[in-house]
A and B are shown apart, each in its own frame.
Chain A
Amino acid sequence: MVDFLIKIAVIALYTTIAMLVGILFMGIGRKIVARVHNRVGPPVYQGFIDIAKLLTKKTNISHGWIYDLALLFSLTGIILTILFLPIGGVKLLGTEGDAFLVLYLLAIPALGFALGAGASGNPNAAIGVMRALVMMLSYELPFVITMIALMIYYDTSSIAQIVELQRARWAIMIPPFMLAAAVADMALQGMLMEAPFDIPTAPHEIASGPMAEFGGKHLGSLMLYKAGTIVAYTTLFVDLFLGGGVVMHDGSILSYIVNFAVWFLLILLIFTLSLLINASFPRFRIEQAFKFYWKYEALLAFISLIWVYLMVIS
Protein backbone atom coordinates (compact mmCIF):
# COMPACT_ATOMS: atom_id res chain seq x y z
CA MET A 1 0.00 0.00 0.00
CA VAL A 2 2.79 2.41 0.97
CA ASP A 3 4.73 1.44 -2.16
CA PHE A 4 1.67 2.20 -4.22
CA LEU A 5 1.28 5.66 -2.64
CA ILE A 6 4.98 6.40 -3.13
CA LYS A 7 4.67 5.40 -6.77
CA ILE A 8 1.70 7.76 -7.23
CA ALA A 9 3.63 10.58 -5.53
CA VAL A 10 6.66 9.98 -7.77
CA ILE A 11 4.46 9.93 -10.88
CA ALA A 12 2.77 13.19 -9.83
CA LEU A 13 6.16 14.77 -9.16
CA TYR A 14 7.61 13.72 -12.49
CA THR A 15 4.53 14.82 -14.45
CA THR A 16 4.58 18.23 -12.77
CA ILE A 17 8.30 18.66 -13.42
CA ALA A 18 7.89 17.56 -17.04
CA MET A 19 5.08 20.07 -17.61
CA LEU A 20 7.05 22.86 -15.93
CA VAL A 21 10.07 22.04 -18.10
CA GLY A 22 7.80 22.12 -21.15
CA ILE A 23 6.42 25.57 -20.25
CA LEU A 24 9.96 26.82 -19.60
CA PHE A 25 11.01 25.47 -23.00
CA MET A 26 8.31 27.50 -24.73
CA GLY A 27 9.89 30.66 -23.29
CA ILE A 28 13.43 29.50 -24.09
CA GLY A 29 12.29 28.69 -27.62
CA ARG A 30 10.90 32.18 -28.17
CA LYS A 31 14.11 33.65 -26.77
CA ILE A 32 16.26 31.57 -29.14
CA VAL A 33 14.19 32.46 -32.20
CA ALA A 34 14.35 36.13 -31.13
CA ARG A 35 18.14 35.98 -30.89
CA VAL A 36 18.30 34.47 -34.38
CA HIS A 37 16.19 37.41 -35.60
CA ASN A 38 18.64 39.78 -33.83
CA ARG A 39 15.97 40.80 -31.29
CA VAL A 40 16.07 40.83 -27.50
CA GLY A 41 13.11 38.52 -27.11
CA PRO A 42 10.79 37.86 -24.15
CA PRO A 43 12.06 36.67 -20.77
CA VAL A 44 12.55 32.90 -20.49
CA TYR A 45 9.61 32.61 -18.08
CA GLN A 46 7.23 34.13 -20.65
CA GLY A 47 5.44 30.77 -21.05
CA PHE A 48 4.32 30.84 -17.41
CA ILE A 49 2.99 34.39 -17.77
CA ASP A 50 1.10 33.53 -20.96
CA ILE A 51 -0.56 30.50 -19.42
CA ALA A 52 -1.38 32.42 -16.22
CA LYS A 53 -2.97 35.17 -18.29
CA LEU A 54 -5.02 32.76 -20.38
CA LEU A 55 -6.22 30.80 -17.35
CA THR A 56 -7.31 34.01 -15.56
CA LYS A 57 -9.35 35.36 -18.49
CA LYS A 58 -12.78 36.55 -17.40
CA THR A 59 -14.88 35.14 -20.26
CA ASN A 60 -14.59 31.90 -22.15
CA ILE A 61 -16.58 30.86 -25.20
CA SER A 62 -17.42 27.18 -25.42
CA HIS A 63 -18.57 25.40 -28.57
CA GLY A 64 -20.25 22.42 -26.91
CA TRP A 65 -19.09 19.63 -24.64
CA ILE A 66 -16.90 17.88 -27.24
CA TYR A 67 -14.94 21.10 -27.55
CA ASP A 68 -14.43 21.21 -23.77
CA LEU A 69 -13.63 17.55 -23.25
CA ALA A 70 -11.37 17.11 -26.29
CA LEU A 71 -8.82 19.40 -24.64
CA LEU A 72 -8.79 17.25 -21.51
CA PHE A 73 -8.51 14.24 -23.80
CA SER A 74 -5.39 15.56 -25.49
CA LEU A 75 -3.85 16.81 -22.22
CA THR A 76 -4.41 13.40 -20.59
CA GLY A 77 -3.01 11.67 -23.67
CA ILE A 78 0.20 13.67 -23.58
CA ILE A 79 0.66 13.16 -19.82
CA LEU A 80 0.14 9.42 -20.29
CA THR A 81 2.77 9.43 -23.05
CA ILE A 82 5.25 11.20 -20.77
CA LEU A 83 4.65 8.54 -18.09
CA PHE A 84 5.63 5.77 -20.47
CA LEU A 85 8.92 7.46 -21.40
CA PRO A 86 11.93 7.06 -19.09
CA ILE A 87 12.97 10.54 -17.87
CA GLY A 88 16.66 10.58 -16.92
CA GLY A 89 16.60 6.78 -16.83
CA VAL A 90 13.71 6.62 -14.33
CA LYS A 91 11.05 4.21 -15.54
CA LEU A 92 7.56 5.17 -14.32
CA LEU A 93 5.00 2.97 -16.08
CA GLY A 94 7.11 1.27 -18.75
CA THR A 95 6.57 -2.42 -19.44
CA GLU A 96 7.64 -4.92 -22.07
CA GLY A 97 6.60 -3.76 -25.53
CA ASP A 98 5.94 -0.14 -24.60
CA ALA A 99 7.70 1.12 -27.73
CA PHE A 100 4.59 0.07 -29.69
CA LEU A 101 2.32 1.46 -26.99
CA VAL A 102 4.04 4.85 -27.17
CA LEU A 103 3.56 4.93 -30.93
CA TYR A 104 -0.17 4.52 -30.39
CA LEU A 105 -0.28 6.92 -27.46
CA LEU A 106 1.39 9.63 -29.53
CA ALA A 107 -1.62 9.60 -31.83
CA ILE A 108 -4.16 10.13 -29.00
CA PRO A 109 -3.34 13.76 -28.12
CA ALA A 110 -3.21 14.77 -31.76
CA LEU A 111 -6.62 13.18 -32.34
CA GLY A 112 -8.04 14.91 -29.26
CA PHE A 113 -6.76 18.21 -30.59
CA ALA A 114 -8.36 17.45 -33.96
CA LEU A 115 -11.66 16.60 -32.24
CA GLY A 116 -11.71 19.90 -30.36
CA ALA A 117 -10.83 21.87 -33.46
CA GLY A 118 -13.49 20.03 -35.45
CA ALA A 119 -16.13 20.82 -32.82
CA SER A 120 -15.36 24.54 -33.07
CA GLY A 121 -16.81 24.51 -36.59
CA ASN A 122 -14.35 26.99 -38.07
CA PRO A 123 -13.41 26.24 -41.71
CA ASN A 124 -9.78 27.23 -41.06
CA ALA A 125 -9.70 24.72 -38.20
CA ALA A 126 -11.02 22.01 -40.53
CA ILE A 127 -8.26 22.71 -43.05
CA GLY A 128 -5.69 22.72 -40.24
CA VAL A 129 -6.91 19.40 -38.87
CA MET A 130 -6.78 17.82 -42.32
CA ARG A 131 -3.22 19.06 -42.74
CA ALA A 132 -2.26 17.84 -39.25
CA LEU A 133 -3.55 14.35 -40.01
CA VAL A 134 -1.68 14.21 -43.33
CA MET A 135 1.45 15.36 -41.50
CA MET A 136 0.98 12.61 -38.92
CA LEU A 137 0.68 10.05 -41.69
CA SER A 138 3.83 11.45 -43.32
CA TYR A 139 6.28 11.60 -40.43
CA GLU A 140 5.22 8.39 -38.77
CA LEU A 141 6.44 6.12 -41.58
CA PRO A 142 10.15 7.08 -41.41
CA PHE A 143 9.98 7.38 -37.62
CA VAL A 144 8.50 3.89 -37.19
CA ILE A 145 11.13 2.41 -39.52
CA THR A 146 13.94 3.91 -37.41
CA MET A 147 12.26 2.57 -34.26
CA ILE A 148 12.07 -0.89 -35.82
CA ALA A 149 15.78 -0.67 -36.63
CA LEU A 150 16.49 0.09 -32.96
CA MET A 151 14.27 -2.76 -31.81
CA ILE A 152 16.07 -5.20 -34.11
CA TYR A 153 19.51 -4.08 -32.96
CA TYR A 154 18.77 -4.17 -29.23
CA ASP A 155 16.44 -7.16 -29.54
CA THR A 156 13.77 -5.62 -27.30
CA SER A 157 10.63 -3.55 -27.64
CA SER A 158 10.83 -1.87 -24.27
CA ILE A 159 12.05 1.74 -24.29
CA ALA A 160 13.42 1.40 -20.75
CA GLN A 161 15.48 -1.57 -21.88
CA ILE A 162 16.74 0.28 -24.97
CA VAL A 163 17.90 3.02 -22.60
CA GLU A 164 19.50 0.42 -20.35
CA LEU A 165 21.36 -1.25 -23.23
CA GLN A 166 22.86 2.07 -24.31
CA ARG A 167 25.01 2.22 -21.16
CA ALA A 168 28.25 1.31 -22.96
CA ARG A 169 27.69 3.66 -25.89
CA TRP A 170 24.77 5.69 -27.12
CA ALA A 171 22.92 4.45 -30.19
CA ILE A 172 23.87 7.58 -32.12
CA MET A 173 27.54 6.50 -31.99
CA ILE A 174 26.80 3.37 -34.05
CA PRO A 175 27.10 4.23 -37.79
CA PRO A 176 23.65 3.09 -39.05
CA PHE A 177 21.94 4.92 -36.22
CA MET A 178 23.65 8.16 -37.13
CA LEU A 179 21.63 8.01 -40.31
CA ALA A 180 18.55 6.88 -38.39
CA ALA A 181 18.95 9.72 -35.89
CA ALA A 182 19.13 12.27 -38.69
CA VAL A 183 15.91 10.84 -40.14
CA ALA A 184 14.22 10.79 -36.72
CA ASP A 185 15.28 14.37 -36.07
CA MET A 186 13.52 15.54 -39.21
CA ALA A 187 10.47 13.51 -38.16
CA LEU A 188 10.72 15.28 -34.80
CA GLN A 189 10.61 18.58 -36.65
CA GLY A 190 7.23 17.53 -38.04
CA MET A 191 6.00 16.26 -34.68
CA LEU A 192 6.85 19.55 -32.96
CA MET A 193 5.20 21.43 -35.88
CA GLU A 194 8.23 23.67 -36.38
CA ALA A 195 9.12 25.15 -39.76
CA PRO A 196 9.49 23.90 -42.47
CA PHE A 197 6.69 21.61 -41.22
CA ASP A 198 4.48 24.13 -39.42
CA ILE A 199 1.88 23.54 -42.09
CA PRO A 200 -1.04 22.62 -39.76
CA THR A 201 -0.84 25.81 -37.67
CA ALA A 202 0.34 28.27 -40.33
CA PRO A 203 -0.77 31.60 -38.84
CA HIS A 204 -0.55 33.61 -42.05
CA GLU A 205 -2.34 31.14 -44.29
CA ILE A 206 -5.16 29.65 -42.27
CA ALA A 207 -5.25 31.83 -39.14
CA SER A 208 -3.37 29.34 -36.91
CA GLY A 209 -5.51 26.44 -38.18
CA PRO A 210 -6.95 24.19 -35.45
CA MET A 211 -6.40 26.90 -32.82
CA ALA A 212 -8.47 29.50 -34.67
CA GLU A 213 -11.48 29.34 -32.34
CA PHE A 214 -9.64 28.73 -29.08
CA GLY A 215 -9.47 31.54 -26.56
CA GLY A 216 -9.19 32.13 -22.83
CA LYS A 217 -8.96 29.04 -20.64
CA HIS A 218 -9.31 26.73 -23.63
CA LEU A 219 -6.24 28.22 -25.29
CA GLY A 220 -4.48 28.02 -21.92
CA SER A 221 -5.01 24.26 -21.67
CA LEU A 222 -3.99 23.98 -25.32
CA MET A 223 -0.70 25.67 -24.44
CA LEU A 224 -0.22 23.20 -21.58
CA TYR A 225 -0.74 20.43 -24.13
CA LYS A 226 1.81 22.06 -26.42
CA ALA A 227 4.30 22.24 -23.52
CA GLY A 228 3.70 18.54 -22.88
CA THR A 229 4.30 17.61 -26.52
CA ILE A 230 7.68 19.41 -26.53
CA VAL A 231 8.85 17.35 -23.55
CA ALA A 232 7.31 14.08 -24.78
CA TYR A 233 8.75 14.16 -28.30
CA THR A 234 12.23 15.40 -27.38
CA THR A 235 12.39 12.86 -24.52
CA LEU A 236 11.42 10.10 -26.93
CA PHE A 237 14.28 11.09 -29.22
CA VAL A 238 16.76 11.32 -26.33
CA ASP A 239 15.64 7.95 -24.95
CA LEU A 240 16.00 6.24 -28.31
CA PHE A 241 19.28 7.71 -29.55
CA LEU A 242 21.09 9.49 -26.71
CA GLY A 243 20.78 6.90 -23.96
CA GLY A 244 18.04 8.81 -22.14
CA GLY A 245 20.67 11.09 -20.56
CA VAL A 246 21.83 8.35 -18.18
CA VAL A 247 25.47 8.90 -17.19
CA MET A 248 25.60 7.54 -13.60
CA HIS A 249 24.36 4.07 -12.77
CA ASP A 250 25.04 3.58 -9.04
CA GLY A 251 21.46 4.36 -7.94
CA SER A 252 22.41 7.01 -5.37
CA ILE A 253 20.48 10.26 -4.90
CA LEU A 254 23.28 12.13 -6.68
CA SER A 255 22.96 9.90 -9.73
CA TYR A 256 19.25 10.74 -10.00
CA ILE A 257 20.02 14.45 -9.93
CA VAL A 258 22.90 14.18 -12.40
CA ASN A 259 20.89 12.01 -14.80
CA PHE A 260 17.99 14.45 -14.60
CA ALA A 261 20.28 17.38 -15.34
CA VAL A 262 21.84 15.58 -18.31
CA TRP A 263 18.38 14.66 -19.60
CA PHE A 264 17.38 18.33 -19.34
CA LEU A 265 20.48 19.47 -21.25
CA LEU A 266 19.99 16.85 -23.96
CA ILE A 267 16.33 17.68 -24.61
CA LEU A 268 17.28 21.36 -24.60
CA LEU A 269 19.94 20.58 -27.22
CA ILE A 270 17.48 18.68 -29.41
CA PHE A 271 14.85 21.40 -29.02
CA THR A 272 17.39 24.14 -29.83
CA LEU A 273 18.44 22.29 -32.98
CA SER A 274 14.81 22.06 -34.03
CA LEU A 275 14.31 25.79 -33.33
CA LEU A 276 17.37 26.79 -35.33
CA ILE A 277 15.97 24.88 -38.30
CA ASN A 278 12.62 26.55 -37.59
CA ALA A 279 14.13 30.04 -37.57
CA SER A 280 15.98 29.60 -40.86
CA PHE A 281 13.50 27.90 -43.18
CA PRO A 282 10.22 28.93 -44.79
CA ARG A 283 7.20 26.65 -44.90
CA PHE A 284 6.68 23.61 -47.10
CA ARG A 285 3.38 23.01 -48.80
CA ILE A 286 1.60 19.91 -47.52
CA GLU A 287 2.32 17.81 -50.61
CA GLN A 288 5.99 18.82 -50.50
CA ALA A 289 6.20 17.72 -46.87
CA PHE A 290 4.49 14.44 -47.70
CA LYS A 291 6.91 13.82 -50.58
CA PHE A 292 9.88 14.75 -48.38
CA TYR A 293 8.93 12.21 -45.72
CA TRP A 294 7.77 9.35 -47.89
CA LYS A 295 10.35 9.67 -50.66
CA TYR A 296 13.66 10.76 -49.10
CA GLU A 297 13.24 10.23 -45.38
CA ALA A 298 11.63 6.81 -45.72
CA LEU A 299 14.34 5.75 -48.17
CA LEU A 300 17.12 6.78 -45.77
CA ALA A 301 15.31 5.11 -42.87
CA PHE A 302 15.00 1.93 -44.93
CA ILE A 303 18.73 1.99 -45.77
CA SER A 304 19.56 2.26 -42.06
CA LEU A 305 17.14 -0.60 -41.32
CA ILE A 306 18.82 -2.91 -43.86
CA TRP A 307 22.25 -1.86 -42.59
CA VAL A 308 21.27 -2.72 -39.02
CA TYR A 309 19.79 -6.03 -40.16
CA LEU A 310 23.04 -6.95 -41.95
CA MET A 311 25.01 -5.99 -38.81
CA VAL A 312 22.80 -8.16 -36.62
CA ILE A 313 22.88 -11.30 -38.78
CA SER A 314 26.60 -11.14 -39.50
Chain B
Amino acid sequence: MGLSDGDIMRYEEWNKISRIASRKSLWMLHFCTGCGAVELPPVMTSRYDMERFGMGPMATPRQADVLLITGYLTVKTLKRVVNVYEQMQSPKYVISFGSCPINGGMYWDSYNTVKRLDRYLPVDVYVGGCMPRPEGVMNAFLELMKLIDEGKARGWEKYQKYYEQYKRNQKMAFGFERGKNEGD
Protein backbone atom coordinates (compact mmCIF):
# COMPACT_ATOMS: atom_id res chain seq x y z
CA MET B 1 0.00 0.00 0.00
CA GLY B 2 1.94 3.00 -1.24
CA LEU B 3 1.15 6.64 -0.81
CA SER B 4 -0.38 8.34 -3.82
CA ASP B 5 0.94 11.65 -5.11
CA GLY B 6 -2.03 13.44 -3.54
CA ASP B 7 -1.24 11.95 -0.13
CA ILE B 8 2.39 12.99 -0.32
CA MET B 9 1.37 16.47 -1.40
CA ARG B 10 -1.07 16.76 1.49
CA TYR B 11 1.60 15.49 3.86
CA GLU B 12 3.99 18.12 2.54
CA GLU B 13 1.36 20.82 2.96
CA TRP B 14 0.78 19.67 6.52
CA ASN B 15 4.51 19.75 7.25
CA LYS B 16 4.66 23.25 5.85
CA ILE B 17 1.91 24.43 8.22
CA SER B 18 3.68 22.69 11.08
CA ARG B 19 6.94 24.40 10.18
CA ILE B 20 5.33 27.85 9.94
CA ALA B 21 3.71 27.35 13.35
CA SER B 22 6.85 26.07 15.04
CA ARG B 23 8.99 28.83 13.51
CA LYS B 24 6.76 31.51 14.99
CA SER B 25 6.48 29.97 18.42
CA LEU B 26 9.85 28.69 19.66
CA TRP B 27 9.75 27.99 23.37
CA MET B 28 13.20 27.72 24.79
CA LEU B 29 14.76 25.97 27.70
CA HIS B 30 17.95 27.73 28.67
CA PHE B 31 20.28 25.25 30.22
CA CYS B 32 22.45 27.72 32.09
CA THR B 33 25.76 25.91 32.24
CA GLY B 34 28.29 28.63 31.50
CA CYS B 35 28.66 32.36 31.20
CA GLY B 36 26.30 32.62 28.21
CA ALA B 37 23.26 32.70 30.45
CA VAL B 38 24.10 36.28 31.35
CA GLU B 39 23.51 37.32 27.74
CA LEU B 40 19.93 36.07 27.81
CA PRO B 41 18.19 38.58 30.15
CA PRO B 42 18.80 41.50 27.74
CA VAL B 43 17.48 39.35 24.91
CA MET B 44 14.34 38.49 26.86
CA THR B 45 13.58 41.89 28.37
CA SER B 46 12.67 45.23 26.85
CA ARG B 47 15.99 45.97 25.11
CA TYR B 48 15.87 43.20 22.50
CA ASP B 49 12.49 41.57 23.35
CA MET B 50 12.53 38.10 21.82
CA GLU B 51 8.79 37.77 22.48
CA ARG B 52 8.27 39.79 19.28
CA PHE B 53 8.98 36.51 17.45
CA GLY B 54 6.82 34.44 19.78
CA MET B 55 9.79 33.12 21.72
CA GLY B 56 9.72 32.75 25.45
CA PRO B 57 11.32 30.89 28.32
CA MET B 58 9.67 27.65 29.47
CA ALA B 59 9.96 25.91 32.78
CA THR B 60 10.41 22.24 31.86
CA PRO B 61 11.96 20.28 28.96
CA ARG B 62 8.62 18.69 28.05
CA GLN B 63 7.18 22.06 27.09
CA ALA B 64 10.22 23.42 25.28
CA ASP B 65 11.30 23.35 21.62
CA VAL B 66 14.76 24.88 21.71
CA LEU B 67 17.57 23.85 24.02
CA LEU B 68 20.14 26.56 24.61
CA ILE B 69 23.58 25.34 25.63
CA THR B 70 24.95 28.55 27.08
CA GLY B 71 28.66 27.99 27.29
CA TYR B 72 31.07 25.23 28.25
CA LEU B 73 29.91 21.77 29.27
CA THR B 74 31.68 19.53 31.71
CA VAL B 75 31.27 15.77 31.40
CA LYS B 76 29.04 15.80 34.45
CA THR B 77 26.78 18.48 32.95
CA LEU B 78 26.67 16.69 29.62
CA LYS B 79 24.87 13.80 31.30
CA ARG B 80 22.12 16.17 32.46
CA VAL B 81 21.95 17.88 29.08
CA VAL B 82 21.48 14.55 27.31
CA ASN B 83 18.72 13.66 29.79
CA VAL B 84 17.02 16.99 29.20
CA TYR B 85 17.37 16.73 25.43
CA GLU B 86 15.81 13.29 25.37
CA GLN B 87 12.86 14.50 27.43
CA MET B 88 11.99 17.19 24.89
CA GLN B 89 9.30 16.54 22.29
CA SER B 90 10.24 16.53 18.60
CA PRO B 91 10.69 18.63 16.56
CA LYS B 92 13.37 20.02 18.84
CA TYR B 93 16.37 22.22 18.15
CA VAL B 94 19.68 22.94 19.84
CA ILE B 95 21.53 26.26 19.80
CA SER B 96 25.02 26.38 21.26
CA PHE B 97 26.53 29.60 22.58
CA GLY B 98 30.09 30.76 22.40
CA SER B 99 33.26 29.04 21.30
CA CYS B 100 33.41 26.45 24.13
CA PRO B 101 30.89 23.97 22.63
CA ILE B 102 32.59 24.38 19.22
CA ASN B 103 36.21 23.60 20.05
CA GLY B 104 36.65 23.93 23.81
CA GLY B 105 37.40 27.64 23.71
CA MET B 106 39.50 28.77 26.64
CA TYR B 107 39.06 25.33 28.23
CA TRP B 108 40.79 23.63 25.29
CA ASP B 109 43.25 21.78 27.59
CA SER B 110 40.87 21.09 30.45
CA TYR B 111 40.61 17.46 31.54
CA ASN B 112 36.86 17.38 32.19
CA THR B 113 35.36 19.73 29.59
CA VAL B 114 33.53 18.56 26.50
CA LYS B 115 35.43 19.98 23.54
CA ARG B 116 33.01 19.32 20.70
CA LEU B 117 29.35 19.27 21.58
CA ASP B 118 28.55 18.16 18.03
CA ARG B 119 29.79 14.65 18.83
CA TYR B 120 27.18 14.13 21.55
CA LEU B 121 24.15 16.15 20.49
CA PRO B 122 23.00 17.40 17.06
CA VAL B 123 23.46 21.18 17.08
CA ASP B 124 21.35 23.22 14.66
CA VAL B 125 22.85 26.67 15.06
CA TYR B 126 26.17 27.82 16.55
CA VAL B 127 26.75 31.32 17.85
CA GLY B 128 30.44 32.17 17.84
CA GLY B 129 32.22 34.52 20.20
CA CYS B 130 33.38 34.55 23.75
CA MET B 131 30.71 35.46 24.76
CA PRO B 132 28.36 36.37 21.89
CA ARG B 133 26.65 39.74 22.23
CA PRO B 134 22.83 39.80 22.53
CA GLU B 135 22.72 40.91 18.90
CA GLY B 136 24.52 37.72 17.96
CA VAL B 137 22.06 35.68 20.02
CA MET B 138 19.11 37.37 18.32
CA ASN B 139 20.75 36.71 14.96
CA ALA B 140 21.07 33.02 15.85
CA PHE B 141 17.36 32.82 16.69
CA LEU B 142 16.46 34.42 13.36
CA GLU B 143 18.83 32.04 11.60
CA LEU B 144 17.16 29.08 13.30
CA MET B 145 13.75 30.39 12.21
CA LYS B 146 15.01 30.64 8.64
CA LEU B 147 16.38 27.09 8.77
CA ILE B 148 13.11 25.75 10.16
CA ASP B 149 11.20 27.55 7.43
CA GLU B 150 13.39 25.96 4.77
CA GLY B 151 13.07 22.58 6.46
CA LYS B 152 16.83 22.37 7.10
CA ALA B 153 16.82 22.28 10.91
CA ARG B 154 16.78 18.49 11.07
CA GLY B 155 18.99 17.88 14.10
CA TRP B 156 16.33 15.83 15.90
CA GLU B 157 15.93 13.53 12.90
CA LYS B 158 19.71 13.11 12.78
CA TYR B 159 19.71 12.16 16.45
CA GLN B 160 17.06 9.50 15.81
CA LYS B 161 18.86 8.17 12.74
CA TYR B 162 22.36 8.01 14.25
CA TYR B 163 21.20 7.24 17.79
CA GLU B 164 23.68 4.36 18.21
CA GLN B 165 26.66 6.50 17.22
CA TYR B 166 25.63 9.37 19.47
CA LYS B 167 25.14 6.96 22.37
CA ARG B 168 28.56 5.41 21.76
CA ASN B 169 30.22 8.82 21.80
CA GLN B 170 28.36 9.78 24.96
CA LYS B 171 29.40 6.55 26.68
CA MET B 172 33.00 7.17 25.72
CA ALA B 173 32.80 10.67 27.23
CA PHE B 174 31.20 9.42 30.44
CA GLY B 175 33.78 6.69 30.76
CA PHE B 176 31.30 4.04 31.81
CA GLU B 177 28.16 2.43 30.56
CA ARG B 178 25.24 4.78 30.97
CA GLY B 179 22.39 3.36 33.04
CA LYS B 180 24.63 1.23 35.23
CA ASN B 181 26.05 3.98 37.43
CA GLU B 182 23.23 6.44 36.91
CA GLY B 183 23.60 8.17 40.26
CA ASP B 184 27.30 8.92 39.71
Contacts and interface: CB of A to CB of B under 8 A. Distances in A.
B45 A41 contact: no
B49 A39 contact: yes
Contacts of B65: 53
B90 A41 contact: no
Nearest to A33: B51
By size class, the interface of chain A is 20 to 34
A140 interface: no
B92 to A, nearest CB: 9
Contacts of B61: 215
Interface in B23-43: 24-25
Contacts of A39: 45-46, 49, 51-52
Nearest to B91: A58
Interface stretch (A93-101, A205-213, A262-270): A205-213
A212 B49 CA distance: 25
B89 A59 contact: yes
A58 B90 CA distance: 5
A49 B62 contact: no
Given A39-B46, A49-B54, A56-B17, A207 B25 contact: no
B77 interface: no
Nearest to B26: A53
B25 A57 contact: no
B18 A41 contact: no
- Which of A42, A212, A219 neighbours the largest number of chain B CB atoms within 10 Å of its CB? A42
A225 to B, nearest CB: 15
Nearest to A206: B59
By size class, the interface of chain B is 20 to 34
A282 interface: no
Interface in A39-58: 39-43, 46, 49-50, 52-53, 56-58
B62 A213 contact: yes
B83 interface: no
Interface string A92-119: 0000000000000000000000000000
A314 interface: no
Interface string A56-99: 11111100000000000000000000000000000000000000
Given A49-B24, A212-B59, A60 B46 contact: no
A38 B46 contact: yes
Contact of B90 (A38, A59, A214): A59
A167 interface: no
B60 A52 contact: no
B139 interface: no
A57 to B, nearest CB: 5
Interface in B43-85: 45-46, 49, 51-54, 58-63, 65
Contacts of B46: 37-39
Interface in B85-108: 88-91
B21 interface: yes
B59 A215 contact: no
A207 B84 CA distance: 14
A49 to B, nearest CB: 5
- Which of B14, B22, B63 neighbours the largest number of chain A CB atoms within 10 Å of its CB? B63
- Which of A39, A46, A53, A207 neighbours the largest number of chain B CB atoms within 10 Å of its CB? A53
A203 interface: yes
6 contacts: A34-B49, A42-B53, A53-B21, A53-B65, A57-B90, A204-B59
Q: Report, nearest first, the 8 A-B pairs whose CB atoms are least far apart.
A: A215-B62, A56-B18, A52-B21, A208-B59, A53-B21, A39-B49, A203-B59, A207-B59
Given A58-B90, A60-B89, 18 more contacts: A34-B51, A38-B46, A39-B51, A39-B52, A42-B53, A46-B24, A46-B25, A49-B21, A52-B25, A56-B22, A58-B91, A61-B62, A203-B59, A211-B59, A212-B59, A215-B62, A216-B89, A219-B63
